[in-house]
Amino acid sequence: KKLKEKELDDITCSVLYFSQQHRVDPRLVCSMIIAESDFDPKCTSNKGAMGLGQVMPDEAQQYKLSNPYDPVQNVGASVGLLKSKLLMYSEGNQDSLTVRQVTLALAAYNAGPGAVKKYGGVPPYRETQGYVKKILSIYKQLCGG
């Protein structure tokens, strides 16, 4: 679907603002949003995840979102959640993450950190494995690789 100009502006500004605030590469954020919702702010998954970054209801409550479908609120929460997962696997060096660390963070975003811990890496769930591969592929393209 084509976004309205205001939606496009809100999403663009939000991605850039929250990426800078949380020190997360905006290309990674965009890659994740493409995989999660293909930039459809009204997207809802069959599991109840909402908006651009597919924020779950408990996460929306945690981030005090009054409207999880609002692009600004949703991107803010999504980038915050992604950053928390990146920190979880950063081994104390959040400025220089390895591909493995980013991979684990993405798997945790999708399947939860408990599943990543249980399996010692990306869980053997088809959805999560495809999700991680898709984001890393898009991210590589956006980085010019």
Euclidean distance between the first and the last CA atom of the chain, given in angstroms as a whole number: 28
| DSSP codes of every residue in 41-77 | TT-B-TT--BTTTTB-HHHHHHTT-S-TTSHHHHHHH
| Catalytic-role residue among 36, 59, 91, 127 | 36
> Active-site residue 36, yes or no?
yes
Q: Any idea what DSSP says for residue 11? A: H
Give catalytic residue positions.
36
